[in-house]
Structure 1
């Protein structure tokens, strides 16, 4: 069986690629950290930018989906594909036409997601507490933290729409950028 050898070769190629392009990873990491900090400093602007970006993504994907649906209209599921494309176009137009209302809607969705994710994580932790020994408590803590974030977002509506998405995106960009910087600096040393 060649699977372990293939994995080892792939890991080696990845390591070499990162080592060779460590400066690109460093630049991207710094850029993400700067954007993350900017989003955290001005979360309403970041929330609006995310909403507009999603609006364009829905609109473009809907138009492409519509074109592909008509191109392959003999395929099964034509009507479902047509409905899906039309919904994406509609969602994109709504988000682009009324981005401030879109921010509120996205904030509600994010709050509901954190609530559902928190409950699921807690249930998963409780289900696996025997097999995971003391590590299950970390999952329980993560689930409780998700529920706390959901509560902050949902109970703060509509005011939390001003900061929630922008702050969460900013945190994500900051940590993603920091991890890329760490990878770049580690690759540079080897």
Structure 2
């Protein structure tokens, strides 16, 4: 088993358990912070939507710059034309998201709706193929929920684009925070 500063790295090692357990308070504190940020985002859904779309736009602009640099670096040695096109499209999408987060949120919401419908349809097909196995009904139920959620999003579009991305962000923050708190509390038993 590999070691790091004398500790065995496997979770079965008492040294590793004590080392992880001694840090449980930091994990709980991190979880509380994420839950608090999620609650704040939930209280201000339109602003959370705008901020999240703005950050996505900035990330897309950085990605476009990286693709452009790669295209220039490889020159004619590779498929630089496709990288240039990709950088251009990424850059335009990122610039639009930064310049007009509301419009980008509408596009993002519509994309999410179609992805939910597609994902649900795919799972429904899989449940049909797996219908001879025990539990296939759960896959069908999951598929139906996804398709219905996608249809509801389309029916409420574009009005729901004001709050939906912010709600997804806030729920994700709260869920990650709750998970960190739970894991930290579990690790506390190893601190002794």
Which TM bucket (shorter chain)? 0.7 to 0.9
> d(CA) in 2 for partners of 1:45 and 1:109?
20
| Cα deviation digits, residues 122-173 of structure 1 (max 9, x gap) | 2222222323x0x222222221111222122110011111121111222222
Distance change in 2, residues 1:18/1:85 (3 Å): farther
- Checking the alignment, whether the CA contact within 8 Å between 1:50 and 1:166 is kept in structure 2 is yes
Q: CA deviation at 1:17?
A: 5.7
> d(CA) in 2 for partners of 1:129 and 1:16?
46
Q: By percentage of residues, which structure has more helix?
A: 1
> d(CA) in 2 for partners of 1:126 and 1:72?
47
- Which residue pairs with 1:184 in the alignment? 184
SS at match of 2:77: coil
- Which residue pairs with 2:51 in the alignment? 49
- Checking the alignment, whether the CA contact within 8 Å between 1:18 and 1:184 is kept in structure 2 is no
- Checking the alignment, whether the CA contact within 8 Å between 2:70 and 2:83 is kept in structure 1 is no
SS at match of 1:151: helix
Q: Does 1:141 align with 2:141?
A: yes
- Which of 103, 106, 115 is the aligned partner of 2:105? 103
Q: TM-score with structure 1 length normalisation?
A: 0.86
SS at match of 1:73: helix
- Which residue pairs with 1:130 in the alignment? 132
- The more displaced of 66-75 and 42-51 is 66-75
Computed over aligned residues only, the root mean square deviation of the Cα atoms, in angstroms, reads 2.1
Q: TM-score with structure 2 length normalisation?
A: 0.85
Task: Answer with 1 or 2: which has the greater Rg.
Answer: 2
Q: Does 1:73 align with 2:96?
A: no
> d(CA) in 2 for partners of 1:38 and 1:130?
46
> d(CA) in 1 for partners of 2:17 and 2:119?
34
